[in-house]
A and B are shown apart, each in its own frame.
Chain A
Amino acid sequence: MSVATKPAPPAGASSLAQNQLPRYTTQLVLVLSIAAGAGLSALFGGFSIVSFAVLSVLAFLVVNTVLSGVVEGRRKAKDKLVTGLVYTAFGIALVPLVSVIWSVVDNGMARFSIDFLTTSMRNVTGLNDQQALEGTAPFIGGAYHAILGTFLITGLATVISVPIGLLTSVYLVEYGRGRLAKAITFFVDVMTGIPSIVAGLFAAALFAVLFGVGTRNGFAGAVALSVLMIPVVVRSSEEMLRIVPNELREAAYALGVPKWRTIVRVVIPTAISGIASGVTLAIARVVGETAPLIVTAGFTSSINNNPFSDWMMSLPAYVYSQAMRPLSGSSPQPSFDRAWAAALTLILIVMLLNLVARLIARLFAPKTGR
């Protein structure tokens, strides 16, 4: 080491504090770079948020690294550069999140109303949209039929998936030994990776074979969603059942309780909060699925209460059709507004389900007594 050849530190300064920038340097550089970024951005062809942010970040990264490199050495400079990059990465990730939520709320609020939630698109045409845009007629047309369809299809999918998924996870945790259990675990993994459009094609092909080509109804959509939902339910309930302490099972067996009653009365109730929240999250996942529904349930502008016959609209398909095929080609804005309002409704449903899942997990968590 070269300690001996170095000049003695000046009196009063610790040798450990040598070659170190004061702590406030980073904050100072940050403030200065933001100011510089604003200045440079204004200088180069007008101020804009994007150029301001990019220039500030660049200025901060360069100045902070160079300053540290000159005073503290290469290693610390690299460390500071990476720290800066990591913070920047997180900042960049917030941009799409904030912008998605902001644009959905901002654009969605334009038409989001009780009227929107309680009327359907029946007999609403491009002419109505044109008149609404000109101000000669009120804005009409809502998403009631789509909301109803989403609830019916997702509800049916839940009714199909939860018993199968839950029983399978019980089998895997309590009974499954050997090759069948291994095969099921493996193929549940495979199922998790099925692209949603392929699940839709499966249901479409199944119903084409069973009920004739071109059969589209809500139930076919529910089958497609079940293919996507079952593996999620199996995975989450399996995890929850596995963490039920073995002592509980053994205590039940010791009291002479049959195995099935142990599972139904001891194991499942202990894990029910986790299972319920897992199921709710699975519902939240499939409620926004679009691709399988547009190939199985189709589109309609009328209310359809019967998922077993005729085409049925769902919220995601409604967003898709309003955004991609506006009712009136020359004045598409009312259709876009409907798409945004429906997107807002959809996000509200998904967020609500996520919130419910969290609440269930917290409220019904088993009392540990410790």
Chain B
Amino acid sequence: MTTTEPPPTERPAVARRPKTRPGDRIFSRSAQVAGILILVILAGVAAFLVREALPTFTADPSEIDGGKGFFSYVWPLVFGTLAAAVIALIVATPLALGIALFISHYAPRRLAQGLGYIVDLLAAIPSVVFGLWGIQWLAPQVQPAWGWLADNLGFIPLFSGPASATGRTMMTAGLVLAVMILPIITAVSREVFLQTPTLHEEAALALGATRWEMIRMAVIPFGRPGIISGIMLGLGRALGETMAVAMVLSTGGFTWSMVTAGNNTIAAEIALDFPESSGLKTNTLIAAGLVLFAITLAVNMFARWIVSRRSEFSGAN
């Protein structure tokens, strides 16, 4: 680091206080205030959500939606949120890793960057457009597949029929979410794959490894924490994503089946019900939002923790 202070050995016996100019003071204060303002905003988010959510917990359980208290109201929503996110992850992770490898190690050098932009384009499309696409284009296209699953694998509770005739099911919502989190996982894993020390790769190749063996021995072990954090960030996005589910899913009560109408996620429930809600229902929805906030916060923290652990111990620096 370079500093503006002279080294201590040259400091004169009587240290002179540096002159502080009013401009400096004002500027540094305002920068500091802006930083503190962010903390205040975040504290405000937490405080207002808790304040508005509290009546839910003090109210009589029979007054809550469903009549059995907040927790029996919220757990099907938590289940739906997790189910949609898990479906999205199962679909998106292998694809995203394949794409990231393609861009970092398989595509011709000259094309690679352009292809990266193409995948990033997916991230730029607004979620409401994905929702519109999901309900009007994707749902009719994939409906036969869910029908097939219900007919042939119906003995598994997840695929028990009869399949929805519109295709507006949890599986479809999960697919739309998968498309939306694909660019995030791809971008993070691509970055770590590109950071693999070239010497490791060349050493593997020089020992006679094929390209896949080189990737398995040099690239994947180096990039594993990055891959995990990319998946976690994708999970965080999938959990909090609202519009795709709110538009695509034909919502309803809890059901194990992923190929019929039913289930709902926290975010979609809020988006669908909040505009027309009043009284205790508003408080209930805000409490549900708080639960969602807590879940995504935990997931994101975990992702960041992995990244920070990696930056300390990685061989790259």
Contact = CB atoms under 8 A, between A and B. Distances in A.
A343 B28 contact: no
B31 A175 contact: yes
A209 B54 CA distance: 14
Nearest to B307: A189
B130 interface: yes
Contacts of B121: 97
Interface string A219-255: 0000000010010001000000000001000100100
Contacts of A184: 35-36, 38-39
A297 to B, nearest CB: 10
B37 A205 contact: no
Interface string A86-103: 111110111011011001
Contacts of A259: 24, 27-28
**A contact patch SS:** helix
Contact of B270 (A188, A201, A284, A287): A201
Contacts of A258: 21, 23-24
A279 interface: no
A239 B118 CA distance: 24
Nearest to A163: B34
Interface string B128-148: 111111011110000000000
B35 A290 contact: no
A320 B247 contact: yes
Contacts of B68: none
A208 B127 CA distance: 27
B95 A183 contact: no
A159 interface: no
B242 A104 contact: no
A82 B236 CA distance: 29
B162 interface: no
A316 B35 contact: no
B41 interface: yes
Interface residues of A, number: 96
Contacts of B35: 167-168, 171-172, 176, 180-181, 184
Contacts of A86: 98, 101-102, 106
Contact of A198 (B45, B115, B132, B133): B45
Contacts of A89: 94-95, 97-99, 102
A260 interface: yes
Interface in A235-291: 246, 250, 253, 258-261, 263-264, 284, 287-291
B269 to A, nearest CB: 10
Interface string B263-285: 00001001100110010001001
Given A103-B136, A104-B129, A164-B37, A250 B267 contact: no
A191 interface: yes
Contacts of B48: 202, 205-206, 209
Counting chain B residues whose Cβ lies within 8 A of the other chain, the interface size class is 35 or more
The interface centre, meaning the residue of B36, B122, B243 with most chain A CB atoms within 10 A of its CB, is B243
A190 B182 CA distance: 22
Interface string A319-356: 11001100000000000100110010011001100100
A52 to B, nearest CB: 15
Contacts of A343: 126, 128-129, 132
Contacts of A295: 270-271, 274-275
Interface stretch (B7-15, B71-79, B151-159, B290-298): B290-298
A259 B122 CA distance: 42
A79 interface: yes
A187 B38 contact: yes
A194 B296 CA distance: 7
A288 B38 contact: no
B304 A189 contact: yes
B247 A323 contact: yes
B86 interface: no
Interface of B: 2, 4, 21, 23-24, 26-28, 30-39, 41-42, 44-45, 48-49, 51-52, 94-95, 97-99, 101-103, 106-107, 115, 118-119, 121-122, 124-133, 135-138, 179, 182, 186, 210-213, 215, 236, 239-243, 246-247, 267, 270-271, 274-275, 278, 282, 285-286, 289-290, 292-293, 296-297, 299-301, 304
The 10 closest A-B pairs by CB, nearest first: A288-B126, A195-B240, A89-B98, A167-B34, A193-B300, A260-B27, A171-B31, A291-B242, A79-B210, A205-B48
6 contacts: A86-B101, A104-B132, A176-B35, A197-B267, A206-B44, A288-B129
